[in-house]
Amino acid sequence: MDQLETATLAGGCFWCTEAIFKRLKGVNKVTSGYCGGKSDNPTYDEVSTGSTGHAEAIQLGFNHDMISYEKLVKIFFHLHDPTTLNQQGNDVGTQYRSAIFYHNDRQKKIAEKIKLKIESEKIYAAPIVTKIVPYQNFTKAEESHQNFYALNRTYPYCQLIIDPKIRKLLQLVPTLLK
């Protein structure tokens, strides 16, 4: 029997994180949305103002017998810049913050352990600013944001920002790809 689990991650633009995690074996579902804010059912336009407190995030449904939560968190830390506060590249604002929204104590402990390990290995020159916080109120983004990369490969943002992340993923974990 499949062992399904949920993970919720915010690493900048959800188009980028969705495109990365959809490629992993054992990840059955990836939904782009908004998490960690103070209003129910926010819209993209509302979140983009930075006033709702939400982060652009993805929610994963994954089979932890095929891919562990630990592996997902490691990939997360290596495929975005966890050292920039409220920013990923040219995307600036609290909605682009780096955060792990843990669903239980086990996820919290794993995320904290991996964050400390990466910091101790000095992979990044600056300190990691990723927040590890309790999961709250994920809202699915509008349909136009779901599966964005696959449907808009020629969009300049996809070519300039997402394509290099996917190439890095191919180098980092080729055996975990679908």
How far apart CA 88 and CA 83 sit, in angstroms, is 9
Output the CA torsion 80→84→86→87 (10° steps).
-60
Among 13, 16, 35, 158, the one annotated catalytic: 13
Sheet holding 131-134, edge to edge: 131-134, 98-102, 4-11, 55-63, 27-35, 139-140
Largest CA distance in the chain: 43
Quick check: 55 and 35 in contact, CB under 8 A? Answer: yes
Active site residue 13: yes
- Could you list the active site residues? 13
